[in-house]
Structure 1
Amino acid sequence: MTRLSTAVQAASVGHPAYSQTFPCEPSTAEIGRKLVRDALGVWHLDNLVDLAALIISELVANAVRHTPCHSIRLVVGRPTETRVRVGVVDRAPSILPVLGPANGNDESGRGLLLIDAVADRWGYDLRGSGRRPWGKEVWAELRVQDDE
């Protein structure tokens, strides 16, 4: 099993972020949940851990299922004081996430629906040049409550 090779040492000021590359395999979801717990703990945002861990699990599952990538990069950041962003970067820019309906009998296919329901917003950004992107980041953001 792959593990975090270093402890999370996320900055607590500015626009801090933590990211690390792992194999594109189901066990990486557990590592992602630990990364989320550790980073949000540094930022004293323990109330967001469960939702952020759920989101990173779903994003990893989607990358494992829908891309041919051998590795993915997990990202946990604070793009602003009021938002936490979790994301997964893969090297499959032509395979874009699509929010679609899931039938009642489907055993899978609800990941983005779940993310859409719990996240403040979600989306994807292509990486690399506009004409020849090398990958994409699929991300979701949670709003930090004012009373934190």
Structure 2
Amino acid sequence: MPENESWEYSLYIPNDVRAVPVCRRMIRLVLTVHGLIHLADLGELIGAELIGNAVRHTKGPAALRVRWREGTLRVGAWDADPEPPDFPGEFAEPTDAEGGRGLVVVRSCSDLWGWQPLSRFGNRGKYVWCELATA
């Protein structure tokens, strides 16, 4: 794949946990089609964590965004809640608890991550994202 080729995909989903595996499959398919199969497992993991949080912790619709630009994969999730995500502390350790470790996984697996307030179609919300560099 040429380094200067850029692309972006978005998938809008209802607030339904059944949408999480759909998002995982979409990430794998997109990365495979673009010759980035080596990023598929990690992309699926972080995408599922981000979109899973969006569906579990908000009441409105959500969206998954997968973007490739200049050798960097960005995976992000938009949701309708404008409140900042509850990021774990700087030195938080993964736990055996059933929940609460998703953003620790995202932080541990990505090169860069963060969030920003965002509006879509007149609705306020936030966009939580992370990046994986291939270089």
Residue 24 (structure 1) aligns with: 15
Residue 40 (structure 1) aligns with: 31
**Between Structure 1 and Structure 2, how many residues are aligned?**
130
3-state secondary structure, aligned to 2:54:
helix
Once residues 37 and 96 of structure 2 are traced to their aligned partners in structure 1, the CA distance between those partners, rounded to angstroms, is 35
Deviating runs (4+, > 6 A) in structure 1? none
TM-score (norm 1): 0.77
TM-score (norm 2): 0.84
1:137 aligns with 2:108: no
Query: Which of 34, 55, 77 in structure 2 is aligned with 1:88?
Result: 77
Alpha carbons 1:102, 1:109 under 8 Å: kept: no
For the structure 1 residues 105 and 87, does the alpha-carbon distance in structure 2 shift closer, same or farther, using more than 3 Å as the test?
Answer: closer
Alpha carbons 1:67, 1:95 under 8 Å: kept: no
Instruction: Quote the RMSD (CA, aligned, Å).
Output: 2.4
Question: Could you list the per-position Cα deviations for residues 15-35 of structure 1 after superposition, in whole angstroms to 9, with x for gaps in the alignment?
Answer: 310002111221111111111
Once residues 25 and 96 of structure 2 are traced to their aligned partners in structure 1, the CA distance between those partners, rounded to angstroms, is 32
Alpha carbons 1:66, 1:95 under 8 Å: kept: no
Query: Which of 27, 49, 60 in structure 2 is aligned with 1:58?
Result: 49
Q: Which runs of 5+ in 1 are unaligned?
A: 1-11
Q: Which runs of 5+ in 2 are unaligned?
A: none
Residue 72 (structure 1) aligns with: 62
Q: C-alpha displacement at 1:57, in angstroms?
A: 0.8
Query: Which of 122, 125, 128 in structure 1 is aligned with 2:113?
Result: 122
Whichever residue aligns with residue 124 of structure 1, its letter is W
3-state secondary structure, aligned to 2:11:
strand
